[in-house]
Amino acid sequence: MSDLGSLETDLLAKIEGAGDAGVLEEIRVAALGKKGVVSERMKTLGKMSPEERKEMGPALNGLKTRIGEAIEAKKSALDETALDARLATEKVDVTLPVRAEQKGKIHPVTQVTEEIVAIFSAMGFDVAEGPDIEDDFYNFTALNFPEDHPAREMHDTFFFEPKEDGSRRLLRTHTSPVQIRTMMEQKPPIRIIIPGRVYRCDSDQTHTPVFHQVEGLVIDRESHMGHLKGTLEAFAKTFFEVDSVTTRFRPHFFPFTEPSAEMDIGYERVGSSDGRGEIRIGQGADWMEILGCGMVHPNVLINCGLDPDEYQGFAWGMGVDRLAMLKYGIPDLRDFFAADARWLEHYGFDPLDQPNLAVGLSR
Amino acid sequence: MKFTLSWLKEHLETEASLDEIVETMVAVGLEVESVDSPADRLAAFTIGEVLEAEKHPDADKLKLCKVATKDGAMQIVCGAPNARVGIKIAYAPVGAYVPGIDVTLKKAKIRGVESFGMMCSVRELELGDDHDGIVEAPAEAKVGDPVADWLGTNDPVIDFEVTPNRPDTNGIDGVARDLAAAGLGKLITPTPKSIKGAFESPQKVELRFSDETKDACPAFAGRYIRGVKNGPSPQWLQDRLRAIGLRPISALVDITNFVTYDRARPLHVYDADKLKGVLHARLAEKGEKFLALDGKEYEADETMTVIADDNDAEGFGGIIGGEETGCSEDTVNVFVECAYFDPLRTAKTGRKTGLTTDARYRFERGVDPNFILPGIEMATQMVLDLCGGEPSEVELAGAVPAFEKTVLYPTTEVLRITGMDVKPEGQERILTALGFEVRKSDPWQVDVPSWRPDIEGKADIVEEVSRIVGFDHLPTATLPLTNAVEAPKLTPAQERRGRARRALAARGLMEAITWSFTDEKYAALFRNLDEMKAAGLYLANPIASDLGVMRPSVLPNLLAALQRNADRGRTDLALFEVAPTYESDQPDGHKDTAGGVRRIDAQRHWSTASHTDDGVFRAKADALAALEAAGAPVANFQSASPGPEYFHPGRSGYLQLGPGKKLAAFGEIHPRVLKAMDVDGPVYGFEIALDDIPAGRKKNVKTKPALNASDLLSVKRDFAFVCDADVEAEALIKAVRAGDKALITDVALFDIYQGKGVPDGKKSLAVEVTLQPRDKTLTDEEIETVSKRILAQAEKATGAQLRH
């Protein structure tokens, strides 16, 4: 029995002294391997008398277990040490800059159009569209612009080369032709907004030959100018993401609406006394025109085959680019079309920020 | 249109302040654009008195003055020759902004002497052009008085936008009428008195039109006034005209301008002694020329109305008079013309000739036919008052066109259309104040005044009533929702564009918006110009000659933008645009397109050893990402090469859903295109015809199919093939997949090799095939069977052999 004790002491000392996993493995083989000292001793159990076996069996098994455990423990300790040693050599300079990833942006016109769509779709408006290249009927005549009336000249129309029959097509000067197309195709009730590119033969600091409009049209049997006001006020408040917006409706003239009005919203400039400060929309003593609107002219309804004594409704039109400028403080309209990466990076939107009324239109 | 406050008050008796007047104008639809109040503009300037004026010790031409001012006695250095003791001057203190020289005054040292402020000239105050010396105020002016009280005119000028429907507001009387109706005072526009003629007019007038064209000028009235004395008009008239931006010329001309603005009634005055024979209106003969009052020669055509005497044409009726028969200082006998010219014809003539005059502006919008004869009387009275003379009887050719319009108007219309409940008495008061006559039958019969050609029906009456009541009385109503929660609103095409945009932006491309038109010579690189011409895509009046055609592709404008950015040093940019391109001028020629361009810069980064030029495949990946986002079945796409001719023939292709169903093109932009556009290459791009994506029907059933994931380990096997160099990878991959469509879940190409070990004209393609067992683990035999089938398929389709 005592030799078992010294064997154990000896083995444990060797295990403890093992310097690396290789030495430890040799010790394990020498002790617990097929021909290891402990294994050899185990083999002797078979030749023992039952009494001897009863005594030696548990002793040998205990020895085997303890040696095994000691080896495992030492192995873990050696692994830990080895890992620490490896890690000590694996140092990177974490202050190195990460690789620049190209970041895409959504153009403010797209973003603001989607904001407008989000608002009006919640109010039950469909989104209608039509072609950029139109003819005189849809762009003017059906919209109650009299032939050769000065009101047509206000539009600075782009025309195409005349055809053989003398007719000429044009680039739509507003998205209103889609009102006509919709009313001719679809019976009321109608609630649509019409986003799209429009064209005026005009180019200076505040005008570009291409710009974007969203028009709205409501036709039913009961919507009146109070609904127009309520709808557009609700829009302005939601769009500019302010608690309230003061509005002013001024009589104006458009051939296709009667009465016609322009809507102003209140604003103030803050942060600078020279009139160049930041614009705060919603309140304030100054007024800014943001859209034109009115009750659809009876002649327009008649032109679309609707009886103006039965149907009525309202329409409005607003400039998307201008709304984007106002909301996001973008100074120059011409930059919208310049595709300057610096501008797009600065004023553009993250593609993940899709306008949504539940989380708020913008961050 | 501009007018001054005092001028308005000749038509409107009112206690209202300038602010109230402006607010009310805006409220009734007269959009005030600016108010120029001299008192405000000159607020910084006050009267001072020169107490001492000594010579400057170091400058012969300068004076050292002591000036009594509102700030006490100030020392001011002044160079004006008239700076002398005792005069009253316009004092500008330190800190004042002097408009005429665009300077804000600071305390200055002039030749070593301090000067506090400035004594201003007329020009420095922007009261005139005089700059000979400092302005001298009347001796009665007191030190500290506002300069505006003593110098120039202290009459605010209001400028507002006349909308095309309101020709009556081209006269100040029209503005006054609106303001009176809105409750701001009483309309006191005087009615011109009829003046008895002393003799029969020696100047005869005639209308010489055919029956078809007689509406060009239905009435031509005039009056001969003899023995007038023309000269400068009186100061009050000159001041008025100057205040609204007109140049006083002579009393006779100034009178016509006055009536034009006062009553929206253009007139013309001829020197009667220069007229020969009958003065008449007629259509011009083609090529007829005359010298107009603006000193330019104009050529008329047979559509234009001219006024002529027996010699020749004198002017365009309703637009401009002639130089030869105009009035001068020596004019003794005059003939005053007051006629009616057809708005449409006047507008057309005006457009053709490019003449924009106050007369054209009014005639093309419509003048009050009932004011033809009163207009003559008013002008006569002014001529008699300002120039003396003796009037003839009135000559009239034709007849004043009848203006009789009655609108049937139910008073409930205001409520129906505007939601404002205006009592009938209120409506009657407003309409009457605006000059309508109301007959209260059911519905009302409302007679339209002759100065309101815009009023046609009851909607117009609704507008009149509601704008005078004021839109601030509109109720605020909410459109009722028909559904508790609204259904989705976007059409598939709209949704497709939106998703494509965000997918491309997520891949690092920046969204650009560029013109819908482009340069003809750029367009020619993308489409045949004759074809474009035939499709009607050439603009007749482009904004610039290099923006003359509708774009056949979004690529040219994007390429130009890419280069503009590169010129600023931004060389690693990717841009895209999702927008229309134009196949024809018909509605179905409007095509939704997504396109993008990339320039790939060798990225300089600490972790990059080398850069592989994978532009073609990035562009392909861009196209695939956008297509997938737009709902195209990308798994079914085939690639075909080459792409369109504006791409590199060896490095481009189409993505198609079978032959003839090309949805997109991608690749390297053709170097010839880049060279023609002066764009540095290489540039990679893609273009997608969004409209051609087959409509993926929205699934009615939202449940997804059950997950088909196997717990069994998948097996991966590599195959290296050798095939002809021109074998397309897609063909080989397809063939490998065909080895076992159920078992093979992925075929990934991981290596392409040409060179040592591979025969000339051959290449090696290596793929990793993933086998996914479903029911039981694959045995070696089963794997071997699949491998054999893969090899057989590959060989059959492409001739590829296993590489040894």
Tell me if A124 and B416 make a contact (CB, 8 A cut-off). Answer: no
Number of Cβ within 10 Å of residue B280's Cβ equals 20
Give the closest-approach CA distance of A139 to chain B in angstroms: 13
Instruction: Evaluate if residue B687 carries a pLDDT over 90.
Output: yes
Compute the distance between CA of residue A119 and CA of residue B479 in angstroms, rounded to an integer. Answer: 13
CB contact under 8 A, A110 and B501: yes
Residue of A nearest to B608 (CA): A99
Helix H, strand E, coil C: the string for A133-198 is EECHHHHCHHHCCCCCCHHHHCCCCCEECCCCCCCCCEECCCCCHHHHHHHHHCCCCEEEEEEEEE
- From chain A, pick out residues whose CB is under 8 angstroms from the CB of B570: 341-342
CA atoms of B202 and B578, how far apart (whole Å): 73
Average pLDDT over residues A47-62: 86
Which of A227, A296, A320, A343 should we substitute to test contact with B (largest number of B Cβ atoms within 10 Å)? Answer: A227
B580 to A249: CB separation less than 8 angstroms, yes or no: no
Give the pLDDT band (50/70/90) at residue B610. Answer: very low
> CA distances (Å), B687 to each of A207, B272, B643, B802, in order?
29, 72, 11, 38
A297 touches chain B (CB under 8 A): yes
Query: How many other C-beta atoms lie within 10 A of the C-beta of residue A23?
Result: 15
Using the structure block, give the residue that is written with the tokens 């402020």: B117
Which DSSP letter does residue B222 get?
E
Q: Is A302 on the interface with B (CB under 8 A)?
A: no
Residues A252, B166: C-beta atoms closer than 8 Å:
no
Cross-chain Cβ contact B511/A122 below 8 Å: no
Residue of A nearest to B480 (CA): A123
Query: Are B536 and A107 a contacting pair at CB < 8 A?
Result: no
Compute the Cα dihedral for B514, B519, B520, B523 and give only its sign.
negative
- Residue B609 is predicted with a pLDDT of 47
Query: For B390-404, what is the mean pLDDT?
Result: 93
CA–CA separation, A222 and A191 (whole Å): 13
Reduce the DSSP state of residue B213 to 3 states and report it. Answer: coil
Q: A141-155, B43-57, B368-382 — which is least confidently predicted?
A: A141-155
Query: What is the pLDDT at residue B612?
Result: 45
Long-range contacts of A56-61 (CB under 8 A, 24+ apart): A59/A1, A59/A4, A60/A4
Partners of B604 in beta bridges: none
* Cα nearest neighbour of B351 on chain A: A153
**B2-37+156-187 maps to CATH 1.10.630.10:** no
Q: Tell me if chain B has a CB within 8 Å of the CB of A328.
A: no
- Asked if residue B399 has pLDDT above 60, the reply is yes
Which range is least confidently modeled, A21-30, A337-346, B247-256, B587-596?
Answer: A21-30
Of chain B residues 634-653, which have a CB less than 8 A from chain A? none
Put simply, the answer to whether A225 touches B504 (Cβ < 8 Å) is no
| Nearest CB to B417; choose among A224, A233, A261 | A224
Judge whether A136 is closer than 8 Å to chain B, CB to CB. no
Q: Is residue A262 pLDDT above 50, yes or no?
A: yes
Instruction: Find the range with the poorest average confidence among A60-74, A138-152, B185-199, B515-529.
Output: A138-152
The yes-or-no verdict on residue B411 having pLDDT over 50 is yes
Separation between Cα atoms, residue B732 and residue B794, nearest integer Å: 6
Q: What chain B residue is nearest to A138 in terms of C-alpha separation?
A: B587
Chain A residues lying within 8 Å of B166, measured CB to CB:
253
Distance CA A149, CA A140 (A): 10
pLDDT digits (tens, 9 = 90+) for A143-194: 998 876 666 766 689 999 998 888 889 999 999 999 999 999 999 999 999 9
Give the pLDDT confidence score for residue A40 in this predicted structure.
86
**Residue in B with minimal Cα distance to A212:** B513
| Interface with B, mutate which of A109, A112, A115, A161 (most B CBs under 10 A) | A161
Contact A258 B460 (CB under 8 A): yes
- What's the CA gap between B614 and B595, in Å, rounded? 18
pLDDT at B377: 96
Q: What is the pLDDT of residue B697?
A: 63
Say if B263 is an interface residue toward chain A (CB within 8 Å): no
What distance in Å separates residue A267's CA from the closest CA in chain B? 17
Mean of the pLDDT values across residues B423-441? Answer: 96
Q: Pick the residue with more confidence: A152 or B136?
A: B136
Q: Which of the 8 DSSP states describes residue B263?
A: H
Residues belonging to chain A: 363
Considering only the beta carbons, identify the residue of A132, A251, A342 that sits closest to B516. Answer: A132
Please state the rounded mean pLDDT for residues B445-449. 97
**pLDDT level of residue B665 (50, 70, 90 thresholds):** very high
Q: What pLDDT, on a 0 to 100 scale, did the predictor assign at position B606?
A: 63
Identify the H or E element spanning B404.
none
| Helical segments of B507-572, H only | 520-523, 529-534, 555-567
- At residue B473 the predicted structure's pLDDT band, cuts being 50, 70 and 90, is very high
| A249, A297, A351 member nearest B502 (Cβ) | A351
Hey, is the C-beta of B606 within 8 angstroms of any chain A C-beta?
yes
Average pLDDT, stretch A117-140? 95
pLDDT, mean of residues B362-379: 94
- How many Cβ atoms from other residues are within 10 Å of residue A246's Cβ? 16
Q: Centre a 10 Å sphere on the Cβ of residue B785 and count the other Cβ atoms it contains.
A: 15
Q: Which of A99, A150, A233 has the CB atom closest to B365's CB atom?
A: A150
Smallest CA–CA distance, residue B565 to chain A, in Å, is: 6
- Asked if the domains B2-37+156-187 and B406-469 are classified in one and the same CATH topology, the answer is yes
Assigned CATH topology for domain B40-149:
OB fold (Dihydrolipoamide Acetyltransferase, E2P) (2.40.50)
Query: Does domain B492-692 bear CATH number 3.30.2320.50?
Result: no
B19: its two tokens: 């602010």
At residue B558 the predicted structure's pLDDT band, cuts being 50, 70 and 90, is very high
Residue B608, pLDDT above cutoff 70: no
Residue B791 tokens read as 């090899």
Distance CA A324, CA A336 (A): 10
From the list A249, A332, B28, the residue with the least C-alpha distance to A266 is A249
CA-nearest residue to B502 within chain A is A351
Q: What are phi and psi of A117, to 5 degrees?
A: -65, -40
Q: Do A133 and B493 touch (CB under 8 A)?
A: no
Q: Could you tell me the two tokens for A160?
A: 């195409």
pLDDT average, residue stretch A204-221: 94
End-to-end CA distance of chain B: 92
Question: Which pair of structure tokens corresponds to residue B797?
Answer: 């389709």
State yes or no: pLDDT of B403 exceeds 60.
Answer: yes
pLDDT band of residue A1 (cuts 50, 70, 90) is low
CATH number attached to the domain at B715-802: 3.30.70.380
* pLDDT at residue B150 in the model: 78
Per-residue confidence (pLDDT) for residue B603, from 0 to 100:
60
Contact criterion met (CB < 8 Å) for B539 and A161:
yes
Residue showing tokens 């054999």: B788
Choice between A100 and A142, residue whose per-residue pLDDT is larger: A142
Fold of B406-469: Phenylalanyl-tRNA Synthetase; Chain B, domain 1 (3.30.56)
Checking if the pLDDT of B223 tops 60, the result is yes
Contact partners, residue B408, CB within 8 Å, separation at least 6: B443, B444, B445, B446, B458
Mean pLDDT of the A279-304 span = 92
Chain A contact for B569 (CB, 8 A cutoff): no
CATH second-level architecture of B205-398?
Answer: 3-Layer(bba) Sandwich (3.50)
Q: In whole numbers, what is the pLDDT of chain B averaged over residues? A: 91
Two structure tokens written together for B431: 């309409």
Residues B208-218 pLDDT 10s: 999 999 999 99
What residue ranges do the domains of chain B occupy? 2-37+156-187, 40-149, 205-398, 406-469, 492-692, 715-802
Q: Which pLDDT does position B80 carry in this prediction?
A: 87
| Entry pTM | 0.85
The number of C-beta contacts closer than 8 angstroms across A and B is 268
Q: Per mean pLDDT, which range of A339-348, B402-411, B749-758 is the poorest?
A: B749-758
Secondary structure percentages of chain A, helix, strand, coil, to 5: 45, 20, 35
Mean pLDDT of B561-587: 94
CA distance B318 to chain A (A): 16
**Shortest CA distance from B457: residue in chain A:** A298
Residue-level pLDDT at B382: 96
pLDDT of B772: 92
| Minimal CA separation from B616 to chain A, in Å | 17
* Over residues B268-293, mean pLDDT: 92
Which among B466, B476, B557 is the nearest to A259, CB-wise?
A: B466
Give the amino acid at A324: A
Query: What is the model's pLDDT at position B513?
Result: 98
Terminal C-alpha separation, chain A:
81
Structure tokens at B764: 């090696």
Confidence of residue A48 (pLDDT cuts 50, 70, 90): confident
Alpha carbon distance A235, A204 (integer Å): 29
Cβ atoms of B121 and B130 within 8 Å: the answer is yes
* Residue B512, burial from CB neighbour count under 10 angstroms (0-12, 13-18, 19+): buried
Which of A148-162, B366-380, B490-504 is the least confident region? A148-162
